[in-house]
Every structure is written in C-alpha cells, then in structure tokens.
C-alpha cells in the first residue's frame, strides 16, 4: 500500500473531487465565457482511466469521492461510468472502499439521471442555484432555464436523494434574493439534506 496523502498540517486527505469533463451546457457569467474553447476530447481521461485514478487515490486513503465537471451529466455515457463506481462503495470504514460518492451538478439533466444516481449508490447531490427569478437565471447562466433545474431538484428528492443548494453570492446580481432562497431552504422547497 502507498503512503496516505497528508496535508501540510499532517492531516490525512480522504476526499477527492474528480472532474469528468470541462464542458457544460450553461455559461455562467462568473465561470465561463460565452464562446468557450474546451479541451480536445483526446486530452480528457477516458472512463477506464478515471476509474483507475479513483482506485489509486483510494489506495492512498481517499474515502469520499465527488464527481464534478464542468457539468458531469453532459458527458456521453456518464451513466455507465457512475454505475461502474458503485462497486467501489463499501460498508462504513471498510478498508480500501469508499464511504460516499456525491455529485455536483447544475441540475439541467438531473431529472433524467436521478434514478440512475440512486442505483449508482449516490445518496446526495449539490445543485448550483443562484436565483429563483427565471429571467435572471437565464441571464446569469446565459442559456439555462430555471424550470429545468427546479424539475431536476424535484426529481432528485422524489428519487430519495438529499439535495444541497450551492449559491454564489453576487453583489448586484442576486443579493436581493437571499431571503427567498433561505425561505425555500427552510420550507424544504429547495433542500432536503
């Protein structure tokens, strides 16, 4: 077994974020330009390589894995990859296995993937949501639709996934909406953790 990863303070590193794509179906103002040039596909690790990489990190002490992008659910055949991760999960503290697989998403394809995520052993997802105003949502994301993301959140909850909302606070962007977003959270309209 390789030596476990340690941070400069001597703590074991047990959490890995694995980005499966740099592509996304949105173009949030703070994240991407409108006309993006993405990596050539040959420069992105294929699924076998990503699985191997995850196993290498697990041998070095990683126990929690987060799948990210870009937007992970836009990558072709992502469902097969997610299901291939399932055997990496073990019982709590089982040596050499993962305790948890999570996913960060913009929610645009969550309705389509919610059931599959549950079958893949995912128990919770983080969904990016910066506003509850449909027009502002499309302005901030340049091409997203609020209704689609909210449908995704609803489907995730119905499938049994815990949903955590990630909001980027923007002065002059969404700073009039924090109360509404928090209200939604408190009334469990947006979150179920």
Residues at the site binding ligand SF4, with contacts judged by CB under 6 A: 24, 26-28, 31-32, 69-71, 106, 128, 141
Of 98 and 110, nearer to ligand SF4 (C-beta) is 110
C-alpha of 2 from chain center: 28
Spell out the SS3 assignment of 84-133.
HHHHHECCCCCCCCECEEEEEECCCCHHHHHHHHHHCCCCEEEEECCCCC
Q: CB of 2: closest distance to ligand SF4 in angstroms?
A: 31
* Contact status, residue 86 vs residue 120, Cβ threshold 8 Å: yes
The region, left, alpha or beta by phi > 0 then psi within -120 to 50, assigned to residue 6 is: beta
Residue 22 or 100: which CB sits closer to ligand SF4?
22
Q: Looking at beta carbons only, is 97 or 145 nearer to ligand SF4?
A: 145
Residue 9: count of CB within 10 angstroms of its CB = 5
Shortest CB 127 distance to ligand SF4, Å: 10
Q: Which helix (H) or strand (E) holds 184?
A: helix 178-186
- Minimum CB separation from ligand SF4 for residue 164, in Å? 15
User: Residue 36 or residue 56: which is nearer to ligand SF4 going by CB?
Assistant: 36
Torsion-angle region of 181 (φ positive above 0: left; ψ -120 to 50: alpha; else: beta):
alpha
Rg, Å, the chain Cα set: 18
Smaller CB distance to ligand SF4: residue 60 or 167?
167
CB of 190 to ligand SF4, least distance (A): 17
Give the nearest distance from C-beta 49 to ligand SF4 in angstroms.
Answer: 21
């Amino acid at each position: 077994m390789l030596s476990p990863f340690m941070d400069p303070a001597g703590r074991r590193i047990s959490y890995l974020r694995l980005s499966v794509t740099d592509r996304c179906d949105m173009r949030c103002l703070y994240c991407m330009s409108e006309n993006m040039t993405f990596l050539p596909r040959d420069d992105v690790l294929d699924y076998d390589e990503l699985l191997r990489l995850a196993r290498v990190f697990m041998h070095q002490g990683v126990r929690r894995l987060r799948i990210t992008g870009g937007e992970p659910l836009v990558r072709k055949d992502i469902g097969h990859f997610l299901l291939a991760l399932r055997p990496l999960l073990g019982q709590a503290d089982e040596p050499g296995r993962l305790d948890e697989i999570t996913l960060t998403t913009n929610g645009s394809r969550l309705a389509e993937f919610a059931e599959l995520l549950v079958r893949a052993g995912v128990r919770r997802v983080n969904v990016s949501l910066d506003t509850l105003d449909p027009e502002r949502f499309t302005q901030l994301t340049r091409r997203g639709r609020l209704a689609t993301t909210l449908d995704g959140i609803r489907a995730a909850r119905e499938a049994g996934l815990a949903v955590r909302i990630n909001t980027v606070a923007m002065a002059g962007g969404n700073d009039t909406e924090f109360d509404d977003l928090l209200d939604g959270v408190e009334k469990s309209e947006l979150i179920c953790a």
